[in-house]
């Protein structure tokens, strides 16, 4: 089976090289991997003790950050190596402050796995949430390197639980311990005979809870808001925006909107701005303007959304009209803000739970949006209570990082 898998990885690598010629994102994916081993040779010395974290993309990085920070604080003499699979993670967080070396993960060939581990020589390895690369896991197992899955989640439709999933089930043997988000994940692993598992919860709760301790001040947002009721629409996609633009265009002047789209390319931003019939200003064009005079602020940059949520009276998190579904609802929730989302959220346990609790509202169309938003805007007590549910939900689910740190085997470090 490894022969077939490795042949497939080889074929994929050749196809990616061709696609990279005309696809900018794939070009980053391919080009970034050409310097991985050189980067590791430069930043990791032969006598450096190391710990390796792997994140698929940006969301998994944010999820694993509390554990990375805890490990770094506990073992300051160890170098942290952080790898990403996706450009959307690496390109945004390649200059992070927690890792000593941040690289793309080379494609999962047997040769790459051996060379990567020869250079990194990790004493501990943490995979965040998912991504189970058979060659890397097989090599880790051969080298008897302690390997942990943190904030893991297992669903019945994954290959591990199918009749044809034996190859992938075997890869799970490399894990020293599984720290999973919920009981259902633990039960599914138990059906595979995996007893080295504990329900630790989701480290994202620890991550977002710390946001309240940070300085979230943005002077330009305060100037724009000018004490008006403000709705923040974060990580929006066109289907989200189509509904919201209709609402915005008919909303009273005393309500302001901040939109931070998922796609910030100039043509997409220009099209969105044109569709809005209210006085609108772009983040990139804000200098020298009286921001308080505008009704809508379009944020055509990245990295500010978390702080912007702290200014929201109501937050909408995009992605819920597409697949796989809604983006991170915990960031606005931690600020005690009522959260609205689209209908596709069933794969996100925190969204399901918060909808059931009443802190998060799922809307299907413009009519539902109007009803929910108008109720929240007009009823201050209702808005406050709904936001309180969100903040309490985050607070009550903290603690995954402490459980993980308490239970990892550190006897040889």
> Residue 39's domain is classified under what CATH number?
3.40.50.11720
Is residue 178 located within the same domain as residue 252?
Answer: no
Q: Is the pTM of this model over 0.95?
A: no
> What gap in Å lies between CA 354 and CA 351, rounded to an integer?
5
Is residue 193 located within the same domain as residue 236?
Answer: no
409 — pLDDT class (breaks 50, 70, 90):
low
Report if residue 412 sits inside a domain: no
Is residue 34 located within the same domain as residue 116?
Answer: yes
pLDDT at 412: 44
Is residue 188 located within the same domain as residue 234?
Answer: no
Burial (CB count <10 Å: 0-12, 13-18, 19+), residue 93: buried
- Reported as a single tens digit per residue, the pLDDT across 51-74 is 999 999 998 999 999 999 999 999
Is residue 188 located within the same domain as residue 264?
Answer: no
CB atoms within 10 A of CB 91: 17
> Residue 269's domain is classified under what CATH number?
3.40.50.2000
Report if residue 335 sits inside a domain: yes
Is residue 299 located within the same domain as residue 331?
Answer: yes
Report if residue 301 sits inside a domain: yes
Report if residue 389 sits inside a domain: yes
pLDDT at 347: 85
Is residue 168 located within the same domain as residue 26?
Answer: yes
Q: How open is the CA angle 274-279-283, to the nearest 5 degrees?
A: 80
> What gap in Å lies between CA 349 and CA 351, rounded to an integer?
5
- Reported as a single tens digit per residue, the pLDDT across 308-352 is 999 999 999 999 999 878 999 999 999 999 999 999 999 888 999
Report if residue 278 sits inside a domain: yes
Is residue 152 located within the same domain as residue 280?
Answer: no
Q: Is 60 a known active-site residue?
A: yes
Pick from 173, 201, 229: which residue ends a domain?
Answer: 201
- Reported as a single tens digit per residue, the pLDDT across 77-117 is 999 999 999 998 999 899 999 999 999 999 999 999 999 99
Is residue 384 located within the same domain as residue 250?
Answer: yes
Mean pLDDT of 355-376: 97
> What gap in Å lies between CA 253 and CA 242, rounded to an integer?
20
Is residue 161 located within the same domain as residue 33?
Answer: yes
75: pLDDT strictly greater than 90? yes
Mean pLDDT of 117-128: 97
365 — pLDDT class (breaks 50, 70, 90):
very high
Does residue 64 contact residue 82 with C-beta atoms inside 8 Å?
no
> What gap in Å lies between CA 122 and CA 354, rounded to an integer?
38
pLDDT at 44: 97
Is residue 196 located within the same domain as residue 308?
Answer: no
Report if residue 407 sits inside a domain: no
Pick from 177, 201, 225: which residue ends a domain?
Answer: 201
Is residue 164 located within the same domain as residue 250?
Answer: no
Report if residue 32 sits inside a domain: yes
Mean pLDDT of 210-223: 96
Residue span of the structural domain in which 83 resides: 15-201
The catalytically annotated residue of 60, 131, 241, 331 is 60
Report if residue 210 sits inside a domain: no
Q: How open is the CA angle 138-143-149, to the nearest 5 degrees?
A: 60
Split into its structural domains, the chain has a count of: 2
- Reported as a single tens digit per residue, the pLDDT across 8-63 is 999 999 999 999 999 999 999 999 999 999 999 999 999 999 999 999 999 899 99
pLDDT at 303: 87
Q: Residues of the chain with pLDDT > 70: what percent?
A: 99
């Amino acid at each position: 089976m490894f022969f077939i898998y490795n042949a497939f990885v080889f074929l994929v690598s050749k196809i990616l090289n061709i696609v990279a010629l005309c696809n900018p994102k794939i070009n980053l994916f391919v080009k970034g991997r050409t310097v991985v081993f050189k980067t590791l040779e430069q930043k990791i010395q032969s006598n450096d003790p190391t710990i390796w974290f792997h994140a698929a993309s940006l969301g998994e990085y944010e999820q694993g950050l509390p554990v990375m920070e805890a490990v770094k604080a506990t073992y300051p003499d160890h170098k942290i190596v952080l790898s990403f699979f996706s450009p959307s993670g690496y390109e945004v967080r390649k200059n992070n402050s927690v890792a000593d070396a941040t690289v793309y993960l080379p494609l999962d060939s047997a040769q790459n796995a051996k060379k990567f581990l020869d250079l990194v020589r990790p004493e501990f390895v943490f995979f965040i949430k998912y991504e189970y690369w058979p060659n890397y896991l097989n090599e880790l197992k051969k080298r008897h390197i302690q390997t942990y899955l943190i904030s893991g989640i297992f669903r019945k439709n994954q290959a591990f639980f199918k009749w044809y999933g034996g190859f992938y089930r075997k890869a799970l043997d490399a894990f020293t311990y599984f720290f999973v988000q919920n009981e259902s994940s633990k039960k599914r692993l138990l059906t595979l005979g995996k007893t080295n598992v504990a329900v630790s919860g989701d480290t994202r709760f620890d991550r977002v809870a710390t946001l309240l301790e940070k300085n979230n001040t943005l002077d330009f947002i305060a100037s724009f808001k000018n004490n008006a009721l403000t709705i923040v629409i974060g990580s929006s996609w066109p289907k989200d925006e189509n509904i919201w633009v209709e609402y915005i265009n008919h909303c009273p002047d005393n309500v302001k909107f901040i939109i931070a789209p998922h796609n910030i390319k100039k043509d997409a931003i220009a099209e969105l701005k044109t569709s809005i019939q209210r006085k609108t200003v772009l983040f990139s064009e804000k200098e020298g303007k009286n921001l308080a005079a505008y009704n809508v602020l379009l944020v055509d940059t990245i990295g500010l959304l978390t702080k912007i949520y702290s200014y929201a009276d109501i937050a909408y998190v995009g992605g819920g009209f597409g697949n796989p579904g809604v983006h991170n609802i915990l960031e606005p929730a931690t600020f005690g803000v009522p959260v609205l989302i689209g209908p596709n959220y069933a794969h996100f346990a925190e969204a399901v739970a918060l909808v059931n609790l009443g802190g998060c509202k799922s809307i299907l169309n413009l009519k539902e949006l109007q009803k929910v938003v108008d109720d929240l805007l007009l009823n201050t007590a209702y808005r406050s209570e709904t936001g309180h549910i969100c903040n309490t939900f985050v607070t009550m689910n903290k603690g995954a990082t402490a459980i993980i740190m308490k239970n990892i085997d550190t006897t040889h470090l």
